[in-house]
Amino acid sequence: MSLIQHYPDRPEKVYFFGTCLIDLLYPQAGLAGMRLIQREGVQVIFPQDQTCCGQPAWNSGYRNETRAVVLNQIRCFPKDYPIVVPSGSCAGMMRHHYPEVFKGKPEEALVNEFSQRVFELTEFLVHVLKIELKDLGEPVKVALHTACSARREMGVADEHEALLRQLGNVQLVEQARKAECCGFGGTFAVKHPDISAAMVADKAQAISDTGADQLVSGDCGCLMNITGHMEHQGIGPRNHHIKGQHIASFLWERTHATKS
Amino acid sequence: MQQKAEFDQRVQEALNNPQLRSNFRIAMDGLMEKRSNAFPDKSFMEELRVLGSKIRANALAKQPELLEQLEANCTRNGIQVHWAETIEQANRIVLEIMERHNATRMIKGKSMVSEEMEMNHFLEAQGKSCIESDLGEYIIQLDHETPSHIIAPAIHKSKQEIAKLFKAKHPDIPYSEDIETMTRSARQVLRSKFYEAEIGLSGVNFAVAETGTLCLVENEGNGRMCTTVPPVHIAVTGIEKVLEKLSDVPPLLKLLTRSASGQHISTYFNMISSPRKPGERDGPKEVHLVLLDNQRSKIYEDDELFDSLRCIRCGACMNHCPVYTRIGGHAYGSLIPGPIGSCIEPQKFGLDKFGVLPTASTLCGACGEVCPVKIPLPKLLHRLRYEQVRDDHTGATNGQGSQRSGKEAMIWKLWSWAHANPAVYRSGTRLASLFRGAIPNKIGPWTRVRTAPKIAPKSLHQLAREEGFDHE
């Protein structure tokens, strides 16, 4: 994204949109994200009526079916607090695609106002909270996979890296073709499983080749795809599959004793 | 759903061909690196891309007037202009020109529009010979193949495969895997063809309305030979190639060569402005321009999809596409492969024929990021996904609604209902957490290469409640 994003001052309260994938499969990542924000003295509100951003239907071409789901999310976050999302993909949907979903519809203005309040977690930590992390963990070699939507749609690849670089005992290693897609692509992995499998095999190999102990990503879709493949194939150093973690869990686990 | 089955079949074949996989991977890595090196200054690149996209958008906005101006100025320059709405008409025009000259032999420079017309087949059926003189096109013509890439048509072949092909087709030339030696032998075979041909055919990269000039970008010199050696030159192009002004050319040329092959400029850049004039010693005696529509006007009607007509055919979107890199060009089953092909071909030939192509993308955005004229490729692919399943029968796209299946539509309706109703959603996730042990560890093709995702014992909704995050 070449557009310059304007960030608000540190708010008193934020909303947290957990994403459906985190809700069901990686809830600790969501919890870690909320705790990281809370630790900075900002109140975090998790509205219980939230469900899914609507991206699966949207990317499959079902626009009417998307609208009903989007309107539910918009109803959940009525006040003018920032909405923090621990996923580049869902944040991209909510910030950049919601206005398209409702272009020319009566709800357009409401949706645009909502979209401007959406922030991906790492950009929020870096630019709004200006978080300073102190690493309490053991030395570890980490590979970072940044989701395509985080990199290209939200433009937060640098923010992911900047947070990891704050951790003194973390050695960040770079895999070959790091900006290449892992092959998840939501329904793509279901509709074109063979192409997706070829892509994830290459990605897993590239990560494994770095000798990293651990894989970190800001998006659980990619994580589920890559670590799922590593587990299945037994890919990793010394024949152990590489542990995969959401960046929020990773940051929280390595820093949380400081204030607790 | 036959197109999907056929596509899957081609994908399987490509993925299971290690030689093909390696040929594409190596070639695409090389092309990506070359492009990146050609734009060391990212702000220079961005400014140029903005300028390029404005030039193309402007030309498209004024296309009807510019085409008239192009015709008038070409005609004034002595270039004979022909309009073809369909590929049949375009082929017929070319044939008539050949017959008027009692011509049987054509030498061709690289032209994707002539591929679109399947001109070689058409003319050969009429007893004419068409020889491709671009090295890549020459190679695939020898092997009776179609291009697998728009600027590097034989990129799917390794040099060893080409060496074997040359040996099979020209047994008298000694076997060599040395690229320069092979190129020289092709040159030797082709040289006489230029002199024998009564007709030279080329494509057009930019047609300048202001001056009636046809611009041709090439690296091998064969384009210049095709357009100057035979007595008659026929240029074929799509109507969207028109530009307003001569000054529009340099920025687009800079973008084209850098994006395509990482070159600051191509080895040859030809500007064809007229046939041979009285007193001139060389050049063709006749120059013809065939302007092909073939559904372009229909694409033009849609305010969003018409951005796909901005394309200057550099191939950068396919070079950077992780799907194209894995499956190669032929698997797409369309003339133009890769992201731009997946936008254009379904619009031209119908979503009923090529609807699978817009789904064969992860929407990773790599294509849109490198497009020199900033075509929002992911957005257009996305729009076509909508077009193929919408059921309101109001859009203009060919084959609209053709990929809609009752079952899939029902699934999305149910999905929408569950995610628009928080109580339903929460009951669903609660059930999933409760019965997570009952979730099978084999879920369709997902688990062929991956372990099944594991549902957590407690959802984030539940954890957030327990930790007091659920209220103000």
The pLDDT assigned to A1 comes to 44
Phi-psi sector, B276: left (phi>0), alpha (psi -120 to 50), beta: beta
The pLDDT assigned to B1 comes to 66
Res. A3: pLDDT tops 70: no
Provide mean pLDDT across the span A58-69. 96
Provide mean pLDDT across the span A237-244. 68
With CA atoms as reference, the chain A residue closest to B384 would be A61
Provide mean pLDDT across the span B13-36. 98
Res. B470: pLDDT tops 90: no
Helix pair angle (B159-169, B135-142), 10° resolution: 60
Taking the Cβ of residue A220 and every Cβ of chain B, the question of whether any pair is shorter than 8 Å is answered with: no
With CA atoms as reference, the chain B residue closest to A224 would be B453
Quote ipTM for the complex. Answer: 0.96
Q: Name the nearest CA neighbour of A245 among A91, A101, A153, A142.
A: A142
The pLDDT assigned to A25 comes to 96
What six digits make up the tokens of A254? 């390595």
Q: Which of residues 233-262 of B touch A (CB under 8 A)?
A: none
What is the pairing mode between strands A140-145 and A170-173? parallel
Of A46, A51, A72, the CB nearest to B464: A46
| Burial B191-213, CB ≥16 within 10 A → b, else e | eebbeebbbbbbbbbbbbbebbb
Taking the Cβ of residue A45 and every Cβ of chain B, the question of whether any pair is shorter than 8 Å is answered with: yes
**Rounded-to-integer distance, Cα A102 and Cα A58, Å:** 12
Domain map (residue ranges) of chain A: 13-128, 140-258
Sheet with A83-85, edge to edge strand ranges: A43-45, A13-16, A83-85, A118-120
The pLDDT assigned to B458 comes to 96
Question: Are the beta carbons of B321 and B348 closer than 8 angstroms?
Answer: no
Give the distance from residue A5's alpha carbon to the nearest chain B alpha carbon, in angstroms: 18
What six digits make up the tokens of B29? 């890595």
Cβ contacts of residue B250 below 8 Å, gap of 6+?
Answer: none
Q: φ, ψ for residue A214 (rounded to 5)?
A: -145, 150
Provide mean pLDDT across the span B155-176. 95
Q: Count of CB contacts below 8 A, A vs B?
A: 204
Q: Dihedral angle at the C-alpha atoms of A127, A130, A133, A139, nearest 10 degrees?
A: 30
Topology of domain B64-294, per CATH?
Rossmann fold (3.40.50)
Give the distance from residue A70's alpha carbon to the nearest chain B alpha carbon, in angstroms: 8
The pLDDT assigned to B441 comes to 81
In chain B, what percentage of residues exceed pLDDT 70? 100
Sequence-ordered alpha helix ranges (H) in chain A: 20-24, 27-39, 55-59, 63-76, 88-92, 98-101, 108-115, 121-123, 148, 157-165, 188-191, 193-209, 220-233, 247-255
Give residue for tokens 């799917």. B156
Distances (CA, A) of A176 to A210, B60, B81, B303, B366: 8, 40, 51, 39, 16
The pLDDT assigned to A237 comes to 52
Q: Name the nearest CA neighbour of A95 among A103, A83, A79.
A: A83
Judged by CB atoms closer than 8 Å, whether chains meet at A232 and B361 is answered as: no
Task: Collapse the DSSP code of A8 into the 3-class scheme (helix H, G, I; strand E, B; otherwise coil) and give the result.
Answer: coil
Alpha-carbon torsion B6, B8, B11, B17, what sign?
A: negative
Judged by CB atoms closer than 8 Å, whether chains meet at A52 and B15 is answered as: no
Q: Which of A16, A37, A50, A62 is the best residue to mutate to test the B interface, defined by the most B CB atoms within 10 Å of its own CB?
A: A62
Specify the DSSP class assigned to residue A93: I
Judged by CB atoms closer than 8 Å, whether chains meet at A25 and B449 is answered as: no
Q: Name the nearest CA neighbour of B94 among B74, B77, B114.
A: B114
Q: Which of residues 8-27 of A touch B (CB under 8 A)?
A: 13, 16, 18, 20, 22-27
Amino acid at A42: V
Q: Which residues of B touch A181 (CB under 8 A)?
A: 322, 362, 364, 366
Q: What is the pLDDT of residues B338-375, one digit of tens each?
A: 999 999 999 999 999 999 999 999 999 999 999 999 99
Judged by CB atoms closer than 8 Å, whether chains meet at B449 and A71 is answered as: no
Give residue for tokens 């929408």. B416
With CA atoms as reference, the chain A residue closest to B421 would be A72
The pLDDT assigned to A2 comes to 44
Provide mean pLDDT across the span A137-166. 97
Taking the Cβ of residue A34 and every Cβ of chain B, the question of whether any pair is shorter than 8 Å is answered with: yes
Taking the Cβ of residue B465 and every Cβ of chain A, the question of whether any pair is shorter than 8 Å is answered with: yes
Strand partners, B270: B216
Provide mean pLDDT across the span B413-419. 97
The pLDDT assigned to B253 comes to 98
Task: Collapse the DSSP code of B291 into the 3-class scheme (helix H, G, I; strand E, B; otherwise coil) and give the result.
Answer: strand
Q: What is the pLDDT of residues B96-109, one digit of tens each?
A: 999 999 999 999 99
CATH architecture of residue range(s) A140-258:
3-Layer(aba) Sandwich (3.40)
Question: Are the beta carbons of A110 and A74 closer than 8 angstroms?
Answer: yes
Provide mean pLDDT across the span B14-38. 98
Q: φ, ψ for residue B214 (rounded to 5)?
A: -105, 120
**Rounded-to-integer distance, Cα A250 and Cα A14, Å:** 21
Phi-psi sector, A183: left (phi>0), alpha (psi -120 to 50), beta: left
The pLDDT assigned to A241 comes to 67
Domain map (residue ranges) of chain B: 1-38+313-404, 64-294, 406-466
Specify the DSSP class assigned to residue B231: S
Question: Are the beta carbons of B377 and B367 closer than 8 angstroms?
Answer: yes
**Rounded-to-integer distance, Cα A146 and Cα A110, Å:** 30
Res. A260: pLDDT tops 60: no
How much is the mean pLDDT over chain A? 94
**Rounded-to-integer distance, Cα B240 and Cα B43, Å:** 28
How much is the mean pLDDT over chain B? 96
Taking the Cβ of residue A173 and every Cβ of chain B, the question of whether any pair is shorter than 8 Å is answered with: no
Amino acid at A214: Q
Strand partners, B359: none
Q: φ, ψ for residue B364 (rounded to 5)?
A: -70, -20
Q: Which residues of A touch B8 (CB under 8 A)?
A: 194
Of A60, A61, A69, the CB nearest to B420: A69
Give residue for tokens 């910030």. A95
Q: Which residues of A touch B326 (CB under 8 A)?
A: 195, 198-199
Assign B471 a pLDDT band (cuts: 50, 70, 90): confident
Assign A259 a pLDDT band (cuts: 50, 70, 90): very low
Give the distance from residue B464's alpha carbon to the nearest chain A alpha carbon, in angstroms: 7
The pLDDT assigned to B356 comes to 96
With CA atoms as reference, the chain A residue closest to B47 would be A2
